[in-house]
Structure formats: structure tokens, C-alpha cells
């Protein structure tokens, strides 16, 4: 789950980046509208946390530009302006959710998970495939009722695959879920995490299609 944070306050922005990282998100930080729109143009984000008051313009105006261009990235508005008219303006302007400052990191993470469920038309917070049940809130998996702990990046790979069951995800696409813009990409990181997941859930759980990518093997195969 890769998140773009558009926030000009260094303390808030970096706190969100670190806190969401602990909750299993890969987060990138932009400090103004221009930087945020440039990051979105690169692509790969599942959702965005957007501050309303930014140094080069309004988050409301940035959101309006994105929606006019057809950008459907789920957006959580984060603002100190938390009156009823402010909330109505944000939601009617294309935001998917609104949260006032100050806030709790756990609530930000929970609201982002809810946005992602709605974006993928899921009502249940769990993901299930081939006898494995994944809980995004705790980054925990269960197989036949037994709990399996995952590292943050093992969780990111498994979550991406389980969001698109049966679909082939390329290595670059999985790397997008593992690393932010300011992180170096290890050449064999995806292969290592897939190997670890197979060790935990069975050698046939994830299928490699050489030169193409990875997918979850169908339960009946």
C-alpha cells in the first residue's frame, strides 16, 4: 500500500511517513502542490493524504485539478480547518475522507485502509486466498487458523498479490509497493520476500512466471 503525503510541516509530514511505515504502508512525502502533482504523475500510489493549506496553493484547488484530469486516487484531506463547511467543501470537492488536526496515527492508518477497501469494492477488512487470511490492520496472516507474523515488506508483497488474486504482478510493480522515492531498490528484494513467503505458506503458494512476474497460484491447481 503506497501512500503519497502532501504536507509542508516537516514534523507532521515525517511523523506521518514513519508512523504509516510502522503500519505497513510505503509512504512518500511532498511539501507542496507542485511536488505532489509531479509525484502523482509518476504513478504507483494507492492513496494520498493531502493537507489543505500548502505554501504554493490550496489542497482543495490541487484536488480539483486532479479530478478534472480524471485522477481517481483516493484522497484523505488532513487539515486544521475542521468546521462543518470545511468538511462539506472537501468532500464535495472530490475528497474521499476528511480528518481534522490534531489526529492520531492509528486513525489515519485505519481511514486509509477503509479508502483502499472502497477503492477495490471490498466490504471485509480481510483478504483471503488459498486458505490464507491476511489482516492489513495487524500485518498478520493466518493459515488454517494458525497465526503467521510477517515483516513489513513481506506483508507489502503478499498484500499486493492478494489484492489482485490470480493476476500477474511484475517485479517493478511489486518494487513500487516496497520502496519510496528516496530508498534504494535492492536488486533481488522481491525474490527474497517471495522466497520467505513460500517458506511460510508453501512452495506452491506463489507462482513465478519467468520474465513476466508473480501471481498467487489458484487453490485448485
Model pLDDT for residues 24-48, shown as the tens digit of each residue: 898 999 999 999 999 998 878 989 9
How far is 191 from 80, CA to CA, in rounded Å? 43
Q: Alpha helix (H) ranges present in 120-179?
A: 152-163, 171-178
pTM: 0.75
Region 53-66: mean pLDDT is: 93
Q: Alpha helix (H) ranges present in the chain?
A: 10-22, 33-42, 59-68, 84-92, 105-119, 152-163, 171-178, 189-201
Among 137, 73, 149, 150, residue whose Cα is nearest residue 108: 137
SS3 of 140, please? Answer: strand
Q: How far is CA 204 from CA 33, 58, 68, in A?
A: 45, 50, 44
Among 180, 132, 183, 185, residue whose Cα is nearest residue 159: 132
Region 206-221: mean pLDDT is: 84
* Contact (CB, 8 A) for 4 and 71: no
Residue 128 pLDDT exceeds 80: yes
Region 85-108: mean pLDDT is: 90
Which pLDDT score is estimated for 185? 65
Q: Is the peptide bond before 102 cis (omega within 30 degrees of 0)?
A: yes
Which pLDDT score is estimated for 153? 87
Name the pLDDT band for 218 (thresholds 50, 70, 90). confident
Among 152, 211, 198, residue whose Cα is nearest residue 177: 152
Q: How far is CA 32 from CA 6, 51, 91, 122, 202, in A?
A: 6, 9, 21, 32, 45
Among 219, 213, 221, 75, residue whose Cα is nearest residue 157: 213
Residue with cell 513489513: 152
Amino acid at each position: 500500500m503506497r501512500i503519497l503525503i502532501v504536507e509542508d510541516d516537516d514534523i507532521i509530514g515525517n511523523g506521518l511517513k514513519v508512523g504509516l511505515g510502522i503500519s505497513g504502508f510505503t509512504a512518500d512525502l511532498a511539501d507542496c502542490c507542485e511536488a505532489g502533482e509531479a509525484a502523482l504523475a509518476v504513478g504507483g500510489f494507492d492513496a494520498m493524504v493531502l493537507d489543505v493549506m500548502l505554501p504554493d496553493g490550496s489542497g482543495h484547488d490541487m484536488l480539483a485539478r486532479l479530478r478534472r484530469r480524471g485522477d481517481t486516487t483516493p484522497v484523505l484531506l488532513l487539515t486544521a480547518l475542521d468546521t462543518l463547511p470545511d468538511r462539506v467543501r472537501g468532500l464535495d470537492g472530490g475528497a474521499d475522507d476528511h480528518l481534522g488536526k490534531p489526529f492520531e496515527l492509528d486513525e489515519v492508518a485505519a481511514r486509509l485502509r477503509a479508502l483502499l477497501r472502497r477503492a477495490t469494492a471490498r466490504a471485509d477488512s480481510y483478504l483471503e486466498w488459498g486458505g490464507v487470511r491476511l489482516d492489513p490492520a495487524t500485518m498478520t496472516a493466518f493459515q488454517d487458523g494458525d497465526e503467521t507474523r510477517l515483516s513489513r515488506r513481506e506483508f507489502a508483497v503478499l498484500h499486493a498479490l492478494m489484492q489482485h488474486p490470480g493476476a500477474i504482478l511484475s517485479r517493478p510493480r511489486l518494487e513500487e509497493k516496497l520502496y519510496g522515492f528516496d530508498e534504494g531498490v535492492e536488486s533481488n528484494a522481491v525474490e527474497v520476500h517471495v522466497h520467505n513467503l513460500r517458506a511460510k505458506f508453501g512452495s506452491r503458494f506463489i507462482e513465478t512466471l519467468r520474465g513476466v512476474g508473480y501471481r498467487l497460484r489458484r487453490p485448485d491447481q
